[in-house]
Amino acid sequence: MAHTDFSSTADRAERHAETAARIEALLDGETDWIAAMATVACELHHAFDHYHWTGFYRVVAERELAIGPYQGGHGCLRIPFDRGVCGAAARSLSTQLVPDVDVFPEHIACSSSTRSEIVVPVVTPGGRLLAVLDVDSDYPAAFDETDRRALESLCATLGARYAHEAR
């Protein structure tokens, strides 16, 4: 079992379900994409003790990400698509679950305390990448398939709801 406050997968899944319901209620009727990202970062960050950095990188130019709303210590401001775990998620449009950042050669060490991370792309139904959701933990192997499923579901909802947002 990874270093988290969960004694079982069911506990983690339940926390995700509660958090998703809260986010859904908070975003009800909200059309502003920045407001949505800020709310999601805040809710996720405070719901899980193992989420030590929680936030978004937005697509701002051809193959370039810039930091968006986040919670935690300062994050790198710009990440090109060819760098970092975030870049890998942006390039591949697929979730990157990295249990040990030391063996992920591309990892960008914004914080030397980060041990594991998960990055999930936010893609519109038409296939356009809006942003990536990046969660970093100071604990090794902190994220599991429950986190992946929940964050992918959340990002799919965001991609559909905020598809109208321009870069």
Nearest approach, Cβ of residue 16 and ligand SME (Å): 21
* 36: exposed, middle or buried (Cβ count in 10 Å: 0-12, 13-18, 19+): buried
118 lies in the binding site for ligand SME (CB under 6 A) = no
CB of 151 to ligand SME, least distance (A): 15
CB-count burial class (<10 Å; 0-12, 13-18, 19+) for 164: exposed
* Min CB(123)–ligand SME separation in Å: 17
Calpha distance 138→51 (Å, rounded): 8
105 burial type by CB count under 10 A (0-12 exposed, 13-18 middle, 19+ buried): exposed
User: Taking contact as CB under 6 A, which single stretch among the options 37-45, 102-110, 138-146, 148-156 is the one that binds ligand SME?
Assistant: 102-110
Site residues for ligand SME, 41-70, by CB under 6 A, read 53
Question: Which residue ranges make up the site for ligand SME (CB under 6 A)?
Answer: 53, 75-76, 79, 84-86, 107-108, 110-111, 114, 117, 134, 136
